[in-house]
Amino acid sequence: MAKNDRSGVNPFTGKKHFDIVNDDKFLQQSYNEYYAVINKSQLLDNTPEGQLVRNVAVNLINAVQNYLANIGRLDYIENYYDWDFHLVADKTVNAFCMPGGKIVMFSGILSVANTEEKVAFILGHEMAHALLDHSRTRASAQTAHNAITSAAWVGSIAMDLFGLGAIGNLTRAATNLASMGSHYLLLNPWGRDQELEADRLGMLIIHWAGYDISHIPAFWESMSAKNSNEHDFFSTHPSDSKRIAAMNDLIVEIENQKDFYSSPVIDNSLKPKNDDNKPQGNVKRCQKCGTPCESDAKFCTNCGSEFVDELRCPNCGASIEKDSSFCINCGFKL
């Protein structure tokens, strides 16, 4: 099934995502990268560890299929997500899931993901990125960015032709800086909101698969905070009090038997709530410890955490960088 033959509404978010890439080329490039890793690696699929990874992956895939069947949205993955998974011999502490469902776990990550539940969360988190089309959104944002950059270059050359060479040189220099900043500071790592989405959906997937998620927040906080320089996976997923708080909030939702089938599991739940670091009268709450503080306070009076004001997209509410041209989540021109 081609992407355009299914509904453009993501079943997990209930909205369409920013998407301007050629789907066939995008998937082919993704698969080429995947098979390049597989073909040069020693596969450990037939080892006990490989069988563990396989069993966990199958459980998670079945959980996703069952959820989508229950909400009538199997069209989202049928004949499009071509699931495949391998454990490869590599000391790198990392894992990834390519668009289309190609999963690779490096054996090095088993040194820290040393229980089936932890393996499940690593895989579930990466599967969530793929199911939420984060890579495609990133690629679309990069395409839009390149188009703006190309237009700026053409404009600078036109200035040269009209005798405004100095202005043209300045424009090209500014364009180069903008390109470097966007590529290294915005487009390479996952965005804050994308990580929050992947955390939430990943934990839901492993919960639906029957795994205990109660220890995941502590595991995540410990590994990302203490070993971020040693382990590639956690260094690209920095510890964040809001992420840990969101994980704990989800556990409470599950314990309270929240209905995850009648509405999207990721909708407005990740946007700041009225009492979450937002002025409410003359009070705002610390994101780390929940202590109420004066609305103009710079630091929490209880734990000393600094209040940080986030810029958000006026269209979808996602976090944005100060000098962004487009929202990385919805593609809205800023």
Going from N- to C-terminal start, the domains of the chain cover: 1-271
User: How much is the pLDDT for 94?
Assistant: 85
pLDDT band at residue 188 using 50, 70 and 90 as cut-offs: very low
Tell me if residue 237 falls in helix, strand or coil: coil
Which range among 83-97, 104-118, 130-144 shows the weakest confidence by mean pLDDT? 130-144
User: How much is the pLDDT for 166?
Assistant: 45
Backbone angles phi, psi at 194, to 5 degrees: -70, -35
Q: Which one is predicted more confidently, 151 or 82?
A: 82
User: How much is the pLDDT for 310?
Assistant: 63
**Distance between CA atoms of residues 130 and 300, nearest Å:** 37
Query: Considering the chain, what percentage of its residues have pLDDT values greater than 90?
Result: 28
Radius of gyration of the chain, Cα coordinates, nearest whole angstrom: 22
For the cut 90, the answer to whether the pLDDT of residue 52 exceeds it is yes
pLDDT band at residue 42 using 50, 70 and 90 as cut-offs: very high
Dihedral sign from CA coordinates of 75, 194, 82, 66: negative
